Chain A
Amino acid sequence: GENVEQHPSTLSVQEGDSAVIKCTYSDSASNYFPWYKQELGKRPQLIIDIRSNVGEKKDQRIAVTLNKTAKHFSLHITETQPEDSAVYFCAASRDSSASKIIFGSGTRLSIRP
């Protein structure tokens, strides 16, 4: 069945440094890749997304890249700040209907002051 693998499971970076989280997906029909941020005890929040017809998308300090051939996509956070500490989930879906999203297993990002 469809699967999304995410790594690393935990990541600790110095404040101001960059953080990179990587995901791979198995369903070649996936064409939409959202990223969610979930702070402890709170709801997941959609922070950025990318569609399969785009290779890269940037929003301020956050960028996502997609390699459809390799079925890889990544989240890049630059100039990390303490408020970036959270669990980040990648996900993959086919955007053809109100269908299920397959989430990655999550990356717990900690920003060291």
Chain B
Amino acid sequence: AAGVIQSPRHLIKEKRETATLKCYPIPRHDTVYWYQQGPGQDPQFLISFYEKMQSDKGSIPDRFSAQQFSDYHSELNMSSLELGDSALYFCASSLLSQYPGVAAFFGQGTRLTVV
């Protein structure tokens, strides 16, 4: 079965550069969540979308923005990268009617390293 696809899997950027992370949810899923997970930490919620509209916002820096497109894929844009942005970024998707309020299926993550 198709899973949540994230690209790229690994990304190395220099400070002050920009990065774009992509997420392709499971077909027919209507909600997308973005999480940031630092080494040894629990996932921190960044932002979520329901039916292409921003649904909720967590501890997402102003330097970050995200959107969901008409084909339901989502992109997380990160500008003016800082060393502290180095982390594993997960995207997750769900069908709201089946898993209301819950990120049920996670992608494999994008490991961002800022040098």
Given contacts A43-B107, A45-B106, A93-B101, A98 and B43 within 8 Å (CB-CB): no
Write out, one digit per residue, whether chain A residues 78-103 have a CB within 8 A of any chain B CB (1) or not (0): 00000000000101011111111111
Write out, one digit per residue, whether chain B residues 72-115 have a CB within 8 A of any chain A CB (1) or not (0): 00000000000000000010001010011111111111000000
Determine whether B64 belongs to the interface, using a CB cutoff of 8 Å to chain A: no
Partner of A105, one of B42, B48, B90, B107: B42
Q: Which bucket holds chain A's interface residue count? A: 20 to 34
Distance, CA A94 to CA B104, complexed state (A): 14
Given contacts A46-B102, A99-B101, A106 and B42 within 8 Å (CB-CB): yes
Tell me if B102 and A95 are in contact (CB < 8 A): yes
Tell me if A99 and B90 are in contact (CB < 8 A): no
Residue of A with least CB distance to B32? A98
| B90 → chain A closest CB, angstroms | 6
Residue of A with least CB distance to B107? A43
Tell me if A43 and B50 are in contact (CB < 8 A): no
19 A-B pairs within 8 Å (CB atoms) are namely A32-B102, A34-B102, A42-B108, A49-B102, A89-B42, A93-B102, A95-B100, A95-B101, A96-B100, A98-B33, A98-B100, A99-B56, A100-B56, A101-B45, A101-B101, A101-B103, A102-B45, A103-B43, A105-B42
New A-B pairs, 18, CB < 8 Å, besides A32-B100, A89-B43, A102-B45: A32-B101, A34-B104, A43-B107, A44-B43, A46-B99, A46-B105, A49-B102, A93-B101, A93-B102, A95-B102, A97-B101, A98-B31, A98-B49, A98-B94, A99-B55, A99-B56, A101-B102, A104-B42
